[in-house]
Amino acid sequence: MDKAMNIPKGEGTPTTTLSWTSLSGITRRRYLLFILLVAPAFLLRLTTAAYPILQTIYLGFTNLSILKGTNDFVGLDNYVAMGSNIGVRSATGFTIVFILATTILDLMIGMMIALLLNTNFRGLTFARTINLIPWAIPTIVAGYAFRWLLDDQFGLLPFWVTQLTGLRPAIFINPLASQIAVILVHAWKDAPFMAIILLAGMQGIPEDLYDAARVDGANAWQRFWGLTVPLIMPLTITMGLFRLVWSLGSFDLVYGLTFGGPGVATSVLALQVFREGILFFKFGFASAISVILLILVAIIGVVGLWLFRKSEVTY
Q: Pick out residues in 184-203 that bind another protein (CB under 8 A).
A: 188, 192-193, 196-197, 200-201
Contact pick of 73, 144, 306, 315 for another protein (by CB under 8 A): 144
Contact pick of 18, 96, 209, 307 for another protein (by CB under 8 A): 18
Contact pick of 23, 34, 72, 170 for another protein (by CB under 8 A): 34
State the virtual CA torsion across 16, 17, 23, 29 in degrees, nearest 10: -120
Number of residues that bind another protein (CB under 8 A): 100
Within 8 A by CB and 6+ apart from 13, the residues are: none
CA dist 275 and 260 (Å) reads 10
* Touching another protein, residues 295-314 (CB under 8 A): 297, 301
Contact pick of 23, 28, 37, 97 for another protein (by CB under 8 A): 37
Residue of 246, 237, 254 whose CA lies nearest to 303: 237
Q: If binding is defined by CB under 8 A, does position 6 make contact with another protein?
A: yes
* Touching another protein, residues 49-108 (CB under 8 A): 49-53, 55-56, 59
Contact pick of 121, 164, 207, 313 for another protein (by CB under 8 A): 121
Segment near another protein (CB under 8 A); pick from 72-80, 81-89, 136-144, 164-172: 136-144
DSSP reduced 3-state for 256: helix
Backbone angles phi, psi at 264, to 5 degrees: -120, 20
Quick check: bond before 262 cis, omega within 30?
yes
Contact pick of 23, 28, 31, 212 for another protein (by CB under 8 A): 31
Q: In 10 A of CB 153, how many CB atoms?
A: 8
Shortest Å, Cβ 45 to another protein: 5
Q: If binding is defined by CB under 8 A, does position 3 make contact with another protein?
A: yes
Shortest Å, Cβ 140 to another protein: 5
Q: If binding is defined by CB under 8 A, does position 256 make contact with another protein?
A: yes
* Touching another protein, residues 274-293 (CB under 8 A): 274, 277-278, 283, 286-287, 290, 293
Q: Where are the alpha helices (DSSP H) in 204-258?
A: 207-215, 220-223, 229-231, 233-249, 252-257
Shortest Å, Cβ 155 to another protein: 8
Task: Give the chain's largest Cα–Cα span.
Answer: 85
Residue of 265, 273, 270, 285 whose CA lies nearest to 84: 285
Q: If binding is defined by CB under 8 A, does position 260 make contact with another protein?
A: no
Backbone dihedral region of 280: left (phi > 0), alpha (psi from -120 to 50 degrees) or beta? alpha
Residue of 190, 195, 187 whose CA lies nearest to 136: 190
Q: If binding is defined by CB under 8 A, does position 265 make contact with another protein?
A: no
Choice between 149 and 213, CB closer to another protein: 149
Shortest Å, Cβ 211 to another protein: 19
Q: Measured in whole angstroms, how far is the alpha carbon of residue 292 from the centre of its chain?
A: 17
Cβ(217)–Cβ(243) below 8 Å: no
Choice between 201 and 260, CB closer to another protein: 201
Q: If binding is defined by CB under 8 A, does position 210 make contact with another protein?
A: no
Segment near another protein (CB under 8 A); pick from 146-154, 164-172, 210-218, 223-231: 146-154
Q: If binding is defined by CB under 8 A, does position 238 make contact with another protein?
A: yes
C-alpha neighbours within 13 Å on the C-beta side of residue 164: 7
Segment near another protein (CB under 8 A); pick from 69-77, 166-174, 240-248, 306-314: 240-248
Backbone dihedral region of 166: left (phi > 0), alpha (psi from -120 to 50 degrees) or beta? left
